[in-house]
Amino acid sequence: MSFTRFWRRYRRRNQYLSHRLQRKWEIILLAIFTLLLILVVPVQAQNTLDAPTEKAPVVLDGQFLFHVGTYGNSSAAQRAEVINAALEEEVRSPENLELVLKHDTEKQKQKQTSIRSKKRNRHLLSVTQADVIQGTSPDEQAKIWKGLIEQAIRKGKYERTDNYQRQALLFSCGVLLGAIALQVGSMFLGRFLSHQITRWFGNFTSPFHPWEEPARLFLRLALLGLQVGLWIAVSFYLSDIFPIARIWRYNLSQFINSPVILLGETKYSALGLLLLLALTIGLWFGISSLTQLFKSYVLVKTGADSRAQDVIAILTKYILTFLGLIILLQIWGIDVRSLAILASVLGVGIGFGVQNIANNFISGLIITLERPIQVGDFVNLGDLVGTVKRIGARSTEISTLDQVTILVPNSRFLESEVINWSHGDPVSRLKIPVGIAYGSDIEKVKIALLRAAKSHPEVLLRPRPQVWFQEFADNSLNFEILVWIGDPKKQFRVKSDLNYRIEESLRRYGIEVPFPQRDINLRSPQLEILITAWLRKYDPEILEKNFIAESIEDVKEEQPQAQSISGEYLSEQFSDSDLFDNDLDNVDIEDLVVTMRGSEGLEIKDRRYRLNTYPDCFIGSEAVDWLVQKHNCMRSEAVKLGQRLVDRGIIHHVTDEHPFEDDYLFYRFYADEPEIDQD
C-alpha cells in the first residue's frame, strides 16, 4: 500500500468519527520528532574540530562550557569529572563568587595556570598546554575560561532564586498556552485550505482534478512540518529555562549519543541509528508514493496490460529502494564494504530464524512475475476455497465463501497444489452422482436427468450435459451427471439447485431413489423347532396358514403394471439432439446484430490504446462474454460465431490485423465506421 492510499483511507475512516484518534497519533509523531531533534541539538553544539589528544567536556547545569585534555596520569574524563563537581559546589555555595588566576612558580616550566575561588580558597582547575587552542597561551586561555566560569556560576546562582523560579513558571505557562493556540490555529488553517483544495481541484471536468489527492497530501505534510517545528522550539526553550531540565536533557542526550556499534573505523550512537531508521522509513514511503504516481499517470496511459503494469511498478519500487538505501548509507558515512560481516550474520539469521519470512517474500516476487494467481481468481488451496483479494509481499488475502478473510503465506501457492478455477478458460465441469433403485427404466432415468440439467440457466449447452452409467452398486444403479458452467464461483449453488431439480424430475417420472437394504437369512433347526412349538401352544391357526404358504412353491407374484411413462416411448419421442435445440448455427444473424448494437448489447464507445483513439469500437473478450451469457454456450462457440460476423462483413478489427479472437482487441461494426470527408 502506498503512502497516498494510506492517507486517503485514514481521512475517510475519520469522516464520521471524532478526531481524537487522529490527534493522538499526530501528538505521538510530534513527540518523537521533538525528542530526537532536542537530543541532537546540544550534542551537535559540542562537535568541534577534535584535537589530536583526548578531550572531555566541562558542563555546569547542563550547559557546555569548554573541553579539557589529559594531564599527567589523569585522563580528560577524570579531569572533567573533578572540575564539574567543583563548579557544582561553587554554584550551591551561598558566598559571593570571586575567581582569581594563580601562576605557580614551581609549575611555570610546565606552562600552566590555575583558576581558584578566592572566597573559599579552593582550586578549581589548571589550564595546561594540552588545553589551549592553537595560537594562544595558558594565561590567555585561563582568562577566557575564567570569564565563562564566572558567567555560568552567576547564572546558576540566579536561576536557583525563588524570584526566578516564579517568573520561569509563569513564563512557561504563557509559552505553552501560546503554542496550544498556534496548534489549534494550524488545525483551522488546514481545514480552510482543505476546503479551498476541494473548490479548486474537486471539479471532475477540471484539468487539475487528478492533482487533488497529491495537493491534500502536500498540505498535510506541510502542516505536520509546521507543528513539528513549533513543538521542537517550545520544548527546547522550556527545557532550557530550568537548570534541572537542562541537566536531564544533557544526560539523556549523552546517553543516547554514546557509541553503541562500530562499523569499520566509525562509531555510531543509538540516536544516529534511530535517525537512519527514520530516514529509511521515509525513503520507503516516498518511493512507494512516487511509484504509485508513476503507475497512475505514466503506465496507465501506455495501454499496457494491468499485469505488466503491476510487475513494472513493483520492480521499480524495489530497485529504487535498494539504490536509495545505498546512497543514504554512503551519505550517512557508513562504508558499505564494512557491512559484509553484518550481512553474513544477517544471512545466518535468515537461514535459521527468518527462513519462512524470506521464503514467503521470494515466493511473492515469483507470484508477481509468473502470475499463476491474480486478484479476483477463484482458487482451491487445500481446505480453503475462496476469491483472491490481495497479493502482498509476504502473504495473500483469500475471502472464503463465508466472507471470512484468511491470510495465506505466499510459499503455500508454490509448494502445494492449487486449483485455480479462473486461470485461462473459466469454463469448468461439475460431477453430480445420483443413485437409482434397481428395476428402474434406465432410458427414462437418462431423460429425467438430462431434462433436470438443461432446465438450469447456469448450465452451458455447449459442451452438452451428459449422463454416465457408472456401476451396479449394492443397493442402487449409480449414475453421474456431467454439466459445464461458465462461472466457477457459482459451482456450489449450482450443485444445490441441480439436486433440487433432479429430485423433482425423478418424482415426476416415477423413478425411485433407493435406500440401503440388508436381507438377513437365519438357518437354525433349533430355532425353527422353538418357533413351531411356540405357535402350536399359543396360536395353532397361524401355524396352519404358514404351512400352507410354504407348500406353494410355484406361485409367482404378478408384477404390477407401471402407470408412468415408459422409457422406450420417451426414447422414441426424444433424441439427444432434441434436448439441445439451442444451436448457434441456427442463430438469426440480423437479430443478433441488432441486439449487440442495442441498449442491452455490447459497450460500444471510443477507446484509447498507446496514445491512439479508436472511435465506436468494442473489445473482443467482452463480446465473447456477452455471447456466452446470452446464448448459454462455450467461449469457443462464441468465438466461432464472432468469426462468422467477420466473414460476412458485419464487423472487423479496427486495423484489420486480426481475426475475431477472445482477447483485448478492438473491433467495430462496419455500420459504425467513421465517415471520411472527401474534397
Q: Does 438 or 339 have the greater pLDDT score?
A: 438
- Residue 50: the pLDDT is 40
**Region 286-291 average pLDDT:** 86
- Residue 110, pLDDT > 60, answer no
Residue 28 has pLDDT above 60, yes or no: no
pLDDT at 234 over 50: yes
425 vs 396, 410, 485, 494, 627, CA distance in Å?
23, 24, 11, 19, 15
pLDDT of residue 10: 45
* Amino acid present at 541: E
Quick one: 219 exposed, middle or buried, by C-beta within 10 A (0-12, 13-18, 19+)?
middle
pLDDT exceeds cutoff 80 at 294: yes
Grid coordinates representing 495 are 450443485
Predicted local confidence at residue 445, as pLDDT: 92
| Neighbouring residues of 246: CB distance < 8 A, sequence distance ≥ 6 | 61, 62, 63, 239, 240
What's the whole-model pTM score? 0.43
∠295-299-301 over CA atoms, to 5°?
A: 120
**123-128 contacts at long range (C-beta below 8 A, 24 or more positions apart):** 123/86, 124/83, 124/86, 124/87, 124/90, 124/99, 124/149, 125/58, 125/68, 125/79, 125/82, 125/83, 125/86, 126/71, 128/69, 128/71
Pair 413, 363: CB distance under 8 Å: yes
Average the pLDDT over 354-358 and give the result. Answer: 73
HSE of 606, CA atoms in CB hemisphere, 13 A: 5
Banded pLDDT at 104 (limits 50, 70, 90): low
Which CATH number is 355-420 given? 2.30.30.60
590 confidence band (pLDDT: 50, 70, 90): confident
Q: CB neighbours of 120 closer than 8 A, spacing ≥ 6?
A: 90, 93, 95
Segment 495-550, tens digit of pLDDT: 999 999 999 999 999 998 887 766 666 666 666 666 777 666 665 555 555 544 45
Q: What are the phi and psi torsion angles at 214 (to 5°)? A: -60, -35
Tell whether the model's pLDDT for residue 315 goes beyond 70: yes
Half-sphere exposure in the Cβ direction for 544 (13 Å, CA): 4
Q: Are 197 and 218 in contact (CB under 8 A)?
A: no
How many alpha carbons fall within 13 Å on the CB side of residue 648? Answer: 12
Rounded Cα–Cα distance for residues 250 and 258 (Å): 12
Exposure of 58 in the CB half-sphere (CA atoms within 13 A): 26
| Statement: residue 229 has pLDDT above 50 | yes
Residue 415 has pLDDT above 90, yes or no: no
Q: 541 to each of 455, 526, 532, 545, how far by Cα in Å? A: 58, 22, 12, 6
In total, the chain counts a number of residues equal to: 679
| Burial profile 105-137: b = 16 or more Cβ within 10 angstroms, e = fewer | eeeeeeebbbbbbeeeeeebbbbbebbbeeeee
- Confidence tier at 435 by pLDDT (50, 70, 90): very high
Q: Which three cell numbers stand for residue 512?
A: 425411485
239: Cα separation from own chain's centroid = 41
Q: How far apart are CA 566 and CA 571, in angstroms?
A: 9
The cell numbers describing 614, all together, are 479508436
Backbone angles phi, psi at 60, to 5 degrees: -130, 120
pLDDT tens-digit series, residues 557-589: 444 443 444 444 444 444 444 444 445 666 788
Q: Give pLDDT, residue 554.
A: 43
Kindly report the backbone phi and psi dihedral angles of residue 663, in degrees, each rounded to the nearest multiple of 5, phi listed first: -155, 175
Main-chain dihedrals φ then ψ at residue 472, nearest 5 degrees: -95, 100
pLDDT at position 422 over 90? no
Per-residue pLDDT at 472: 92
Q: What is the mean pLDDT of the chain?
A: 76
CB-facing half-sphere around the CA of 257: CA atoms within 13 A: 19
Determine which helix (DSSP H) or strand (DSSP E) holds 176, and give its type and residue range. Answer: helix 162-201
Percent of the chain topping pLDDT 70: 74
Percent of all residues in the chain with a pLDDT value above 90, rounded to a whole number: 11
User: How would residue 469 be classed by pLDDT, with cut points 50, 70 and 90?
Assistant: very high
Residue 276 has, within 13 A of its CA and on its CB side, a CA count of 16
Q: Which H or E run includes 60?
A: strand 56-60
**Nearest partner of 467 among 495, 485, 445, judged by Cα:** 445
Structure-block grid coordinates of residue 492: 456450489
pLDDT (mean) for 157-182? 88
Sketch the domain layout of the chain as residue ranges: 56-160, 258-353, 355-420, 428-508, 584-672
For residue range 59-91, list pLDDT tens digits in order: 887 778 887 878 777 787 788 788 878 888 777
Q: Is 101 helix (H, G, I), strand (E, B) or coil?
A: strand
Coil/strand/helix, residue 116: strand
The CA-atom distances, in angstroms, between 109 and each of 68, 103, 106, 144, 260 are 20, 11, 7, 21, 41
**Average confidence (pLDDT) over 612-639:** 88
Q: Which stretches of 259-348 are assigned E, i.e. beta strand?
A: 259-263, 266-269
Which option is the CATH number for 584-672: 1.10.10.10, 2.60.40.10, 3.30.450.40, 3.40.50.150? 1.10.10.10
**Higher pLDDT pick, 247 / 189:** 189
Residue of 420 and 20 predicted with greater confidence: 420
* pLDDT classification of 52: cutoffs 50, 70, 90: very low
Name 395's bridge partners.
409
Strand boundaries in 356-445, DSSP class E? 378-381, 384-391, 395-400, 405-409, 418-420, 428-436
> 428-508 domain in CATH 3.40.50.12240?
no
**Average pLDDT of the segment spanning 373-388:** 87
